[in-house]
Amino acid sequence: MPPKSARPEQVLAAVPRQRPTGEADLPKASDPASGEARGVLQKLSRLLTGLLLIVAAVASVTAMVTVMSQHLGFAPVLSPSMEPTFHPGDLVVTKPEPAREVKVGQIVALPVPDAPSQRYVHRVISVTTKDGKPLVRTKGDANPAPESFTLRIDSPTVPVVIATVPQLGRVSVLLQRSMLRLSVMAVTVVAILLAAWRLLAGPPRRKGRHA
């Protein structure tokens, strides 16, 4: 019998499984619990930020009302004559008090005799009275001698220093005019309120596209 021919081996090539069209592009489903937690955290963050901004706005309004109702004044320190009590560049806060109640040791803002439109801030070292008007002598804490003049206070009140804010005198020079100061305060309050409203309201919702 003739020899049987060798049966050729069948080689089967591995055919990769094809995914349905668009399967690889489908987004994976996210965990609903983690998405909900992120949403809650975002809402809490917006709420806290909005509350902080509202508190800042209320504080700004309160400060503005206090300044106007108490007639507080602000004056930049331009010389070192009152060191170490305060320094050049600081800001002194003054409050008007009755001129007849001025006492030795108080720091007051008084007009310069040769330039009434300008004021200097020094400490009172003596108080006398003449014709019902207080006469005061002043001295800078860093000066070796008091002023050479005695100043009579004719106004019913005199600005007395009640506080000092370091390094804010330079900024106050730009805000000397009351209208500019009030405008800056008003713009600040409005900006804070708008930011707080936007945070509390949340981001605007996007309208879904219709197929």
Give start-end residues of each CATH 2.10.109.10 domain in the chain.
73-167
Nearest to 84 by CA among 141, 139, 122: 141
> Does a cis peptide bond (omega within 30 degrees of 0) precede residue 20?
no
Q: What is the CATH number of domain 73-167?
A: 2.10.109.10
Q: How is residue 64 written in tokens?
A: 């503005």
pLDDT at 12: 47
Cα gap 185→193, rounded to integer Å: 12
* pTM greater than the 0.85 cutoff: no
Q: Is the dihedral of CA 34, 40, 44, 50 positive or negative?
A: positive
Nearest to 106 by CA among 179, 188, 181, 162: 162
Place of tokens 């006492």: 103
pLDDT at 33: 65
Integer CA distances (angstroms), 81 to 58, 125, 145, 167, in order: 37, 15, 11, 16
Is the CB of residue 70 less than 8 Å from the CB of residue 95? yes
Is the CB of residue 69 less than 8 Å from the CB of residue 52? no
pLDDT tens digits in sequence order for the chain, 211 residues long: 555 554 555 544 455 555 555 545 555 555 666 767 777 787 787 778 777 777 777 776 776 677 676 678 888 888 999 999 999 889 899 999 999 999 999 999 999 888 878 889 999 999 999 888 999 999 999 999 999 999 999 999 999 999 988 877 766 665 555 555 666 667 777 777 777 676 666 655 555 554 4
Q: How is residue 59 written in tokens?
A: 């504080």
Cα gap 122→106, rounded to integer Å: 8
